Structure 1
């Protein structure tokens, strides 16, 4: 059982971990040990997530979400399975925490009278400045 937030707790059965060979440093050990972790979490079928959190998580997941609604995270920063496993789980928890925060709706505001006046005064100044650039009209 993984506690993500106070209200969100993931069951171990919801997370699938596969260990694969990692690229990168490690010498001959790279060819023998499957230290990279591929974490799969079915966002679409998870009973732990509310509909709002699920929607935001799909948006945050981006390319990491499959057509079936499965979030796939790969972790191969470290040389050991344990550290990569912990890294993948922490990244999953961070994504879910971020998705659990509801965005604050924007309240449309009107410009103040003073800001309208400042804008119009600026336009008048620009107009006056540009009118002075014109060639003067000759009086006959």
Structure 2
């Protein structure tokens, strides 16, 4: 059973090596009676490097479930890659905002605040004497 060319392209774009994926066909669970209990139409995939697992038994056909499972695995790994890239970008943005120089308005407000605080402390000192 070969995968479709579109799916192979999607897997390659996501950086998934087919050798890194364990594929098993297992018996399904749930409603379906004798048919579901006798046939191994459920597809279970596990991407070894990341530990991501996918299990698919949406269709009665093993071939259809296999296509769907591979597609779902590719989507999960792509979403995971995007989330990691987003976290790196967020960290970079946070660092950029944290270390940038203050605007003139911010500096003026900060200096005014410090002067007021200094005045409050000076008044306390004057009250103690």
Q: Which has the higher contact order (CA 8 A, sep 6+)?
A: 1
Match for residue 96 of structure 1? 77
User: RMSD of the TM alignment (CA)?
Assistant: 3.1
Q: Alpha-carbon deviation of 1:6?
A: 6.8
Q: Alpha-carbon deviation of 1:41?
A: 1.2
User: Relative to 1, partners in 2 of residues 1:12 and 1:78: Cα closer, same or farther, differing over 3 Å?
Assistant: same
User: Relative to 1, partners in 2 of residues 1:76 and 1:13: Cα closer, same or farther, differing over 3 Å?
Assistant: same
More helix by share: 2
Structure-to-structure mapping, 1:3-82, within 5 angstroms? 3-4=9-10, 8-43=14-49, 70-82=51-63
Structure having the higher Rg: 2
Q: Alpha-carbon deviation of 1:76?
A: 1.5
Which TM-score applies when normalising by structure 1?
0.50
Ranges in structure 2 where 5+ consecutive residues have no aligned partner? 106-129
Ranges in structure 1 where 5+ consecutive residues have no aligned partner? 44-57, 59-69, 114-140
Q: Alpha-carbon deviation of 1:3?
A: 3.1
SS state at 1:77 partner = coil
